Amino acid sequence: MSNYKNLINVKTYKGIYGAVIGDIYGSYYEFKHGPKTPKQYIQIHDSSSFTDDSVLTVAVADFLAHKDEGKPCSFYLQKWARKYPGAGYGGRFASWIYQNDPKPYNSCGNGSAMRVSAVAYYASSIDECEKLAIEVTECTHNHPEGIKGAVVIATCIYMALHGATRDQIREYAEKHYDLKLNYEAMMAELSHGQEICQVTVPQALWCFLHSDSFDDCMRLCLSIRWDADTMAAIACPIAEAYYKEIPEEYLIEAKKRLPEDIKAVLESVRKE
């Protein structure tokens, strides 16, 4: 159960905030600030801020909102990344941002999975969800593992939005990843260089599947300690869609740390 008493239903606020909340709360704990005990109460900190996870989530949402205009997803990824150049992008993506004719670079980095949540809200079927997830991913992360990570996360969010049970989501996810993970082993510190879908996506799925609320999912992600912001940016959108409620404090604190243009895109995403 959530540690927070004041919960709000996702239908009572505009837009989608799960990934961005996970990113902002996780930003303080990434690599060096993880809680010392499992599922410790999570606090927001003065230094907590949005990172590339939020910026690129917004870029994908902006692309989907304007898809009929014909510009590729790469245009929107470059547009938003150039607007917020200091958000903490990975090395190859940081170079890709400024290419005149950007090409995919065979990445399996976990960035493909952390930016994909809006796809589930624009898709009208699981098949369309998979196709859109591939489209917003392959312009950079065209490695099979990068594409798989994005497709699986988008599909899990879609399933959660449309009433799938936890067991149904688990059954789907286990077709793609080994989720028999050890919590204590995951809490052991991992080093930079392992921020790939093969590592992060199954751990994020494990956190959602072993949680009992949005808050609990968040605390599980951050207690694992390593790439905390991306872990939470991947798991929390599934929790947002599944539990249908989040602690009001999370939303309030996240909005305080977001510029108006980012909030405007997030709040334009349709929720039915």
- Please write the tens of the pLDDT for every residue from 153-199: 999 999 999 999 999 999 999 999 999 998 888 877 666 668 999 99
pLDDT at 205: 98
Q: Is the pLDDT of residue 26 over 60?
A: yes
> Mind listing the domains of the chain with CATH numbers?
7-266 (1.10.4080.10)
Residues 75-111 pLDDT 10s: 999 999 999 999 999 999 999 999 999 999 999 999 9
Classify 106 in phi/psi space as left (phi over 0), alpha (psi -120 to 50) or beta.
Answer: left
User: Which residue would you say has higher pLDDT here, 240 or 227?
Assistant: 240
Name the pLDDT band for 122 (thresholds 50, 70, 90).
very high
Mean pLDDT value of segment 250-261: 97
pLDDT of 224 > 80? The answer is: yes
Q: What is the pTM of this model?
A: 0.95
Identify the pLDDT of residue 193: 63
pLDDT exceeds cutoff 70 at 1: no
pLDDT digits (tens, 9 = 90+) for 51-82: 999 999 999 999 999 999 999 999 999 999 99
Q: Among 110, 192, 117, which residue's Cα sits nearest to residue 143?
A: 110
35 band by pLDDT with thresholds 50, 70 and 90: low
Top-confidence range, 30-39, 190-199, 249-258 = 249-258
- The overall average pLDDT reported for the chain is 92
